[in-house]
Amino acid sequence: MKKFSLVEFSVNHPKLVVVLSILVTLLFMTQFPKMKTDTNPKNMLPATSEVRVWNDEVEKTFSLYEDMIALGIVNEKGILNKDTLGKIQRITDEILKIKGVAARDVSSFTTIDNVTAENATLKVAPLMQKVPEDEKGIEHLRKMLYENPLFINRIISKDGKTTAIYVPLEKGSNGKEIADRIREIIKKEKGDEKYYIAGDPVARDTFGSEMFKLMAIFAPIAGMVMLFVRYLMFRDLFLSITLMMDAMISIVWSMGLLIGLGFPIHIMSSMAPVFLMAIATDSMHIFNEFYFRYRETKDKKKAIIETMHAVSRPVRNTALATAAGFAVLLFMNIIPVKVFGGLVAFGTVALRILSFSFIPAMFTFVKDEKIEKIAHAEDIGTDKTSQFLKKLAGFGTYKPALTVAIGFILFVVAVIGISKTKVNNNLVEWFKKDSDVRISDTVINNALGGTSVGYVVALAQDDDYIKTPEAMRYIEGLQRHLEKLPVVGKTTSVVDYVKRINRVLHDNDPKYDAVPETKEMVGQYIFLFSMSAKPADLDNVVDYPFKRANIWVQLKTWDAKAMQNVINAVDEYKKANQTQMNIKPAGIAYFNLVWNHEVLWDMVRGFILALIVVFAILAYDFRSVKWAIVGYTPLLFTILFIYGVVGFIGKDFDMPISVLSCLSLGMAVDFAIHFVSRLRQRLKEAKSESLTDALLWTAARPGKGIVRNAVLFAASFAVMIFAPLTPYITVGAFIVSMMLLSALMTIIYMPALIVLMKGWLFKGEKI
């Protein structure tokens, strides 16, 4: 019984195969209306993860909000004037009406409580109940602001030119939508003031919104560039479109499956279409070989079958290697990493099924005279590209020792570069320097305490311990220690309130700006304050059994390593100052640090595991560990060299870079598989041919497909370098570099290795 061949079935029933492909695609497209997005980094970790459970507990204990927006208002002439203060009041009133804003806890001149004393009686009231009418009233406001340390660097800068309105968001609110509402409010105000909107929810939700816009813009542009370059290569619009359809069908299948299974689209999975378009270019080897085969056979159907027979093994095994490289991510801990890995692995398998069915079927619809015209130019004896590739391969073939020596020197340099790599993540820096998000963040961070907030929580074993002078002084000392860090702009705790009350009840005498001497006095001050203040004033910094205290730490950067510096400083202080309290970090800055560490190292672990799996696949494919080592070398060199450059230029090893590590692995090994497979095939078919001639033939014919593949995709994704979001710029630059470098390594370096190692590789064989 004849063995079933998908290629032959597709060639014999092309219309059926195309119709089935379209029907399946439409079926997957029905899932797209159900699409949900999730850009919240909190959901990058499982709900049961230690950091999520702890952060939720801290938020509940201290009545904290997960998200907060900061609206910076700058007037270079000073904000303490009647006109600007009137704007602050009007803007605050309008912000309080926005749906999704936690109005009761908005902090502004008109809502924040000020602690004063009248006739030895504590008075707590909003700082500015109405806009001062004259200069005397403004000076009184200035005095209240600058006498209270709680206000300085929080709602007013030291130079008096900047204030901020802090807008906490209700759970589930969209930061970008609320930021847009605030922009509508401030547009109504005219004058010298400049407005800056910043904060994690603004950056996160704006990135999520821009991310999908860019995918809608750049994916078609990349596709059009790919189509144009493909057309320039083969002068055949129909088959150029076929190659694009191959990629688009796999993307629709993959994203449709993701949505259909109920998964939201995270930042990582949103990049899957880019990866699949890259992987789809491997079909170029089929196109490249087809025209050579048609030139030799003059029979379209025979040329298709012979083409698929010649390239089936390398195409199949490159798909296996790429799919395996991503599939290992399914064994990682982070759910979005698992989803991303499974998504791209599925898409890769879909692409290979289409390569053996949809593409052969589409070939049958091309008119013979068109193929004849294109095939006429595919002559490695006269084709300029083939001749150029022969010369490149000739350098490695005829000067193997020099080629390998140069490669080794570059390898050493790359390793030095990798040693300089810094692991860090900063969501705000995913925007260009001239973007509103980044400018706003920079302005507010420079003028005030900082837009990124972390917490340092002190946990005592006994009720009321936080009220003791020892606990209060320990917390105060820790605050002063943390404030020495360049990344820390301001700290706030229950101690600041107690010290403020102590001072105002003693006629503002500076010597009473200190922790009271007894626990009873501390307790009395806190009680007096709680009777008059908003509940949130104390709730945010201390719990009511007084077993826990929360230090707010405002950071001047969203760098994940900034919170690590805070943790290190806490550890230093704990070693130098003993206490019975346990000190633990929390907050969004701490969460960003943890998920940054977890996700990045999950990707690194997955990458290392993928390296092992890919080597095993190479050994299986080549039926030889020796040839697997040779095939592995361009892959390893490409990855090391690119990451070495990343280290030298000072680019952080962040989320986009870590995700791209898997793509670099999959794409770099593809070229090696094609080169080695076709070389060994040539040596078997042309037994009288020398190794040198076989190497030059491989560079000129299959090598042309390798270079076409690299150039095609590098040209397509070079457009991403012009994107407004830096992860897309990184993706574009990374892919262009990776494709061109791995192709160059395969054409030049691999022949040199094979010639130098031929005694070992061909031991016992006559070459």
Is residue 390 included in any domain, yes or no? no
Query: How far is the C-alpha of 722 from the C-alpha of 703, rounded, in Å?
Result: 30
Helix (H, G, I), strand (E, B) or coil at 306: helix
Is residue 338 included in any domain, yes or no? no
Predicted confidence band of residue 602 (pLDDT cuts 50, 70, 90):
confident
Is residue 154 included in any domain, yes or no? yes
Query: How far is the C-alpha of 743 from the C-alpha of 384, rounded, in Å?
Result: 18
Specify whether the CB–CB gap between 358 and 245 falls below 8 A: yes
pLDDT > 70? residue 661: no
Is residue 433 included in any domain, yes or no? no
The encoded tokens of residue 763 equal 């031991």
Instruction: Find the mean pLDDT for residues 359-366.
Output: 84
Chain centroid offset of residue 243 CA:
29
Quickly count: other Cβ atoms within 10 Å of residue 601's Cβ.
15
Query: How far is the C-alpha of 86 from the C-alpha of 84, rounded, in Å?
Result: 5
Amino acid letter, residue 283: S
Query: How far is the C-alpha of 45 from the C-alpha of 595, rounded, in Å?
Result: 7
The DSSP code for 749 is I
pLDDT > 70? residue 378: no
pLDDT at 664: 64
Chain centroid offset of residue 669 CA:
24
More confident of the two residues 89 and 767? 89
pLDDT tens sequence across 428-448: 888 888 889 999 999 999 999
Lowest mean pLDDT among 302-316, 506-520, 649-663: 649-663
3-state secondary structure 550-588: EEEEEECCCCHHHHHHHHHHHHHHHHHCCCCCEEEEECH
Query: How far is the C-alpha of 355 from the C-alpha of 376, rounded, in Å?
Result: 24
Specify whether the CB–CB gap between 519 and 471 falls below 8 A: no
pLDDT at 553: 95
pLDDT at 304: 83
More confident of the two residues 226 and 63? 63
Lowest mean pLDDT among 320-324, 367-371, 386-390: 367-371
Predicted confidence band of residue 552 (pLDDT cuts 50, 70, 90):
very high
Amino acid letter, residue 742: S
Q: Using alpha carbons, select from 465, 495, 464 the residue that is nearest to residue 480.
A: 495
Query: How far is the C-alpha of 54 from the C-alpha of 32, rounded, in Å?
Result: 36
Q: How open is the CA angle 198-154-464, to the nearest 5 degrees?
A: 115
Helix (H, G, I), strand (E, B) or coil at 262: coil
pLDDT at 376: 63
pLDDT at 307: 83
Its domain, for residue 134, covers: 65-204
The encoded tokens of residue 66 equal 């997960």
Query: How far is the C-alpha of 8 from the C-alpha of 14, rounded, in Å?
Result: 10
pLDDT > 60? residue 377: no
Instruction: Find the mean pLDDT for residues 221-238.
Output: 76
Query: How far is the C-alpha of 537 from the C-alpha of 479, rounded, in Å?
Result: 18
Query: How far is the C-alpha of 549 from the C-alpha of 541, rounded, in Å?
Result: 6
Instruction: Find the mean pLDDT for residues 641-651.
Output: 86
Q: Using alpha carbons, select from 223, 238, 311 the residue that is nearest to residue 704.
A: 311
pLDDT tens sequence across 106-159: 999 999 988 888 777 888 888 898 999 888 999 999 999 998 899 999 999 999
Mention every residue, 6+ apart, whose C-beta is less than 8 A from residue 118. Answer: none
Alpha helices in 261-399 (DSSP H): 272-280, 284-297, 300-327, 335-355, 358-363, 368-376, 384-398
pLDDT at 42: 73
Q: Using alpha carbons, select from 683, 679, 686 the residue that is nearest to residue 631.
A: 679
pLDDT > 60? residue 589: yes
pLDDT at 151: 92
pLDDT at 86: 93
Q: Using alpha carbons, select from 566, 530, 558, 537 the residue that is nearest to residue 457.
A: 566
Query: How far is the C-alpha of 6 from the C-alpha of 17, rounded, in Å?
Result: 10
Predicted confidence band of residue 616 (pLDDT cuts 50, 70, 90):
confident
Predicted confidence band of residue 727 (pLDDT cuts 50, 70, 90):
confident
Predicted confidence band of residue 740 (pLDDT cuts 50, 70, 90):
confident
More confident of the two residues 489 and 340? 489
Predicted confidence band of residue 667 (pLDDT cuts 50, 70, 90):
low
Helix (H, G, I), strand (E, B) or coil at 268: coil
pLDDT tens sequence across 743-764: 888 899 889 988 988 888 877 6
Instruction: Find the mean pLDDT for residues 542-559.
Output: 93
List Cβ<8 Å contacts ≥24 apart for 600-603.
600/423, 600/425, 600/653, 600/654, 600/655, 600/658, 602/329, 602/332, 602/333, 602/334, 602/337, 603/329, 603/332, 603/337, 603/658, 603/659, 603/661, 603/662
pLDDT at 688: 67
pTM of the model: 0.79
Quickly count: other Cβ atoms within 10 Å of residue 242's Cβ.
22
More confident of the two residues 350 and 299? 350
pLDDT > 70? residue 379: no
The DSSP code for 191 is S
pLDDT > 70? residue 640: yes
Specify whether the CB–CB gap between 69 and 201 falls below 8 A: yes
Query: How far is the C-alpha of 485 from the C-alpha of 89, rounded, in Å?
Result: 34
pLDDT at 668: 65
pLDDT at 447: 93
Q: Using alpha carbons, select from 605, 644, 611, 601 the residue that is nearest to residue 421.
A: 644
pLDDT tens sequence across 230-274: 777 767 777 777 777 888 899 999 999 999 998 888 777 877 887
Strand-by-strand arrangement of the 162-169 sheet: 162-169, 67-74, 194-198
Mention every residue, 6+ apart, whose C-beta is less than 8 A from residue 764. Answer: none
Specify whether the CB–CB gap between 234 and 457 falls below 8 A: no
Is residue 406 included in any domain, yes or no? no
Helices (H) and strands (E) in the chain, counts: 30, 9
Residues of the chain above pLDDT 70, percent: 95
Lowest mean pLDDT among 89-103, 285-299, 338-352: 285-299
Instruction: Find the mean pLDDT for residues 736-743.
Output: 84
More confident of the two residues 92 and 610? 92
Dihedral angle, C-alpha 435, 437, 441, 447, nearest 10 °: 70
pLDDT > 80? residue 397: yes
Predicted confidence band of residue 380 (pLDDT cuts 50, 70, 90):
low
Query: How far is the C-alpha of 712 from the C-alpha of 706, rounded, in Å?
Result: 10
Query: How far is the C-alpha of 516 from the C-alpha of 513, rounded, in Å?
Result: 9
- In the chain, the number of structural domains is 1
Helices 384-398 and 702-717: angle between axes, nearest 10 degrees: 110
Query: How far is the C-alpha of 584 from the C-alpha of 57, rounded, in Å?
Result: 12
Q: Please give the C-alpha separations between residue 412 and each of 385, 421, 644, in angstroms, as whole numbers.
A: 32, 15, 9
Residues of the chain above pLDDT 90, percent: 33
Instruction: Find the mean pLDDT for residues 623-638.
Output: 84
Instruction: Find the mean pLDDT for residues 450-462.
Output: 93
pLDDT > 70? residue 639: yes
pLDDT tens sequence across 168-200: 998 878 888 899 999 999 999 988 899 999 988
Is residue 183 included in any domain, yes or no? yes
Specify whether the CB–CB gap between 349 and 323 falls below 8 A: yes
pLDDT > 80? residue 98: yes
The encoded tokens of residue 146 equal 């600058």
Is residue 161 included in any domain, yes or no? yes
Mention every residue, 6+ apart, whose C-beta is less than 8 A from residue 106. Answer: 92, 95, 96, 165, 166, 167, 168
pLDDT > 90? residue 366: no
The DSSP code for 107 is B
Instruction: Find the mean pLDDT for residues 28-43.
Output: 83
Is residue 138 included in any domain, yes or no? yes
pLDDT tens sequence across 114-124: 888 877 788 88
